[in-house]
Structure 1
Amino acid sequence: MTLKLRSTGATDRGLIRSGNQDAFHAGTWLVAVADGMGGMAAGDLASSIAMQAVTPLDLATPEDALVAALRGGIELATGRIRRAVEEDPDRQGMGTTLTALLFARTGSCLALAHVGDSRAYLFREGVLKQITRDDTFVQMLVDQGMITPEQASSHPRRAVVTQALQGGEVSPAYATMVPWAGDRWLLCSDGLSNVVSADTLTEVLTDHPDREECARRLIDLALRAGGPDNITVVVADIVAED
């Protein structure tokens, strides 16, 4: 038996925004979510550039090359975003989050790359754990002990990111993990995580084994909570196959 990655994704512009600046990829080896910022057209462009830069990584990769592959994808995205801003000064300030998970061809390892405030959660044996750390002003306040995580969830500046892919220097977080059969990964933009609680996420991931149904239900709950932002969800299961 070999472990495989099986994924699906869905996105919705929400109930307030006029367009959708999110982008996602749900593939055989790679899953990723990007949330653009910096004006309508520029946000669209930034997230699209990031996704186009990492999508070619969706292939069988040796486990010792996972992090290097993700790092190369982010460097490519950074360079392309920088050139896009140079071509049109009106794009100054555009950027995008990126959270990406790359699964090894052996099924024995996976790597995660993250910058911004989109999130990756691991749902393992009934327990949901946020794996990524938000690159946000309020997370910095939490880390410094100035506010609690509960206060952060309703803080007026919770949407202020401290770093994103904007064409300049950036310090993404990278991690490697050993997958287990039965693991379920949730990657999402803050249009979901800002309005749907972790307890509710756990409940939905538990009650909806079908990935597509699960993704649709999560988006529906974000819409019912007001849908103030674009909502993007990728659900990926680690399954044992012959």
Structure 2
Amino acid sequence: MSFEHILYSVDSGVALLSLNRPKALNSFNEAMHLEVQQALKSALKDKQVRALVLTAEGRGFCAGQDLSDRNVDPSAASPDLSISIERFYNPLIKQLQAFPMPVICAVNGVAAGAGANIPLACDLVIAARSAKFIQAFCKIGLIPDSGGTWFLPRLIGMARAKELALLGEPLMAEKALEWGMIYKVVDDEDLREEAMSLARRLATQPTKGLSFVKRALNQSFDHDFNTQLEVERDLQRMAGQTQDYREGVKAFMEKRTPEFKGE
């Protein structure tokens, strides 16, 4: 596939999707949204793909929405921002969180607005040491979208979530790690390889089972204890019917390294 605003490739079971509008700090316009949608659909259909890495080109991860892609002329009718959220951002966040394989986000440089919240929908976030997360919405009279009001209180607590959302000040990568918002911080020059290495490792694992792990953890926020025990029961039944479970047990009994197929 040929894209104008993203880069997409598959190697060793890993799909690499990189935002590629560096001159605009990889801010989203409609064209880039459509290309990301297409790439994610391709990854889902490709049986070779067993892990996904989301990252970006240039000096920043993503500055959120490209405001030049919207009509904000004071003399014109007020834009309905819910349209782009419903058409693009919400489907993207839902797809990343429910993606049936591990999703790693490698954050290089500035992640602002929607660009600060899209990584939070991924499973493991690795940030360059220079990266910073900015809930910039309050600077233009908006609220955090792209799941920001859901992810932030759950990851870092309500007090810190309100600090970021109301003040809009940058949260540096090291502090984001300390707060439990992201998984890991690495030197800038090591970011891409660190993310790819982790993805290649995950791609060799029982990825069908890992998708059940994701489902169980994501659903836990909406369930009481007894209901979550039932979720665990049902998903464990499904996991126990996979070929990877059979291979894992067989390899354990034979004292050898398992060869998982993601099935």
Structure holding more strand per residue: 1
TM-score for both structures, normalised by structure 2: 0.29
* Larger RCO (CA under 8 A, 6+ residues apart): 1
TM-score (norm 1): 0.31
Q: Which has the larger radius of gyration?
A: 2
